[in-house]
Amino acid sequence: MELLVIGCGVSGLTTGLRLLEAGHTVTIWASARPPHTTSNIAAAVWYPYKAYPEDRVTAWGAVAYQRFKALSADAQTGVRMAHALEALGEPSGDPWWVSAVEGFRHAGRDELPAGYVDGYVLDAPVIDTGIYLDYLVRAFEGHGGRIVERTVSDLSEAFAVATTVVNCAGLGARELVGDHDLHPSRGQVIRLKANGFRQVVMDDTGPNAVAYVVPRVNDIVLGGTDDEGNWSTEPDPEVTAGILKRTAALVPWVARLTPDDILNVVCGLRPVRSTVRVEAERLAPERTLIHNYGHGGAGITLSWGCADEVVGLVGS
């Protein structure tokens, strides 16, 4: 089939690539392409953050986990496997997503930052988005895919060129399909020069939430924020100071950083929804719209699993 995908972030590119591999002809329309996408701003470590429902997210995440593990063998992808620790302020059972990952165990007390009483340790894929998104573009175009930079304000424009359209518009789907269940969660992060630190450390629910330290190939990302309903993408110096304070509680060397250690401070808007939307919608006998959006802070974490489901929906 000749298919049109709307969106050129991680969901659009991964979905487009999997559709090409399934034998379809694919064009992507997007107002921006890497490096100018929300996906480029993500930290990004495998973690199903602000994505629901749990059962489908676990299944999608498991598919992506294995794909990222395989990609980590190729340095050109920007993916590597890392030792990750999620520190917890209270004793906890296993997380709902535990079946999707490998190397999982509860942390020993000597592994935890001061003030924490429990934690999860796992082998986690870490994706340097500056490298990885470019890899996806090369793979997509190398399989014959085409990317056109253009804004889509109405679906009739897309259906004028294809009878099946895949909506990977992220937060843009709010206006494109009138989905007001979709809303932003503002995330601000600090990018540091790489310094040899290799462990991912996170606090999602504990005394310093939200805080994370994510070393990647070319930098270290400090985060973060979870400011739902905030549409601003302008960095806030007070928020930057708060991120530095919270992450220093996880890894003490952050307190010794100087301005020369900071590469930049950036903000992105997570596309949060009550549930991730991956489904087919028949708009007319000859018009099918397939949705793949609303991934919250887990667009990369779920990317390959959701893309595979889209391929199945196209085939059916």
Q: How far apart are CA 213 and CA 191, in angstroms?
A: 10
pLDDT string in tens for the chain (316-residue length): 899 999 999 999 999 999 999 999 999 999 999 999 999 999 999 999 999 999 999 999 999 999 999 999 999 999 999 999 999 999 999 999 999 999 999 999 999 999 999 999 999 999 999 999 999 999 999 999 999 999 999 999 999 999 999 999 999 999 999 999 999 999 999 999 999 999 999 999 999 999 999 999 999 999 999 999 999 999 999 999 999 999 999 999 999 999 999 999 999 999 999 999 999 999 998 899 999 999 999 999 999 999 999 999 999 8
Judge whether 251 and 242 are in contact, CB under 8 Å. Answer: no
Phi, psi of 147 (to 5 degrees): -115, 125
pTM: 0.96
Q: How far apart are CA 158 and CA 152, in angstroms?
A: 7
Please, what is the Cα angle at 277 between 313 and 124, to 5 degrees?
95
Which residue, among 140, 144, 151, has the nearest Cα to 29 in the 3D structure?
151
176 DSSP 8-state letter: H
Q: Which residue has the tokens 């487009």?
A: 16
Judge whether 167 and 293 are in contact, CB under 8 Å. Answer: yes
Q: How far apart are CA 314 and CA 294, in angstroms?
A: 19
CB atoms within 10 A of CB 110: 5
Sheet holding 25-30, edge to edge: 146-149, 25-30, 2-6, 164-167, 287-293, 277-284
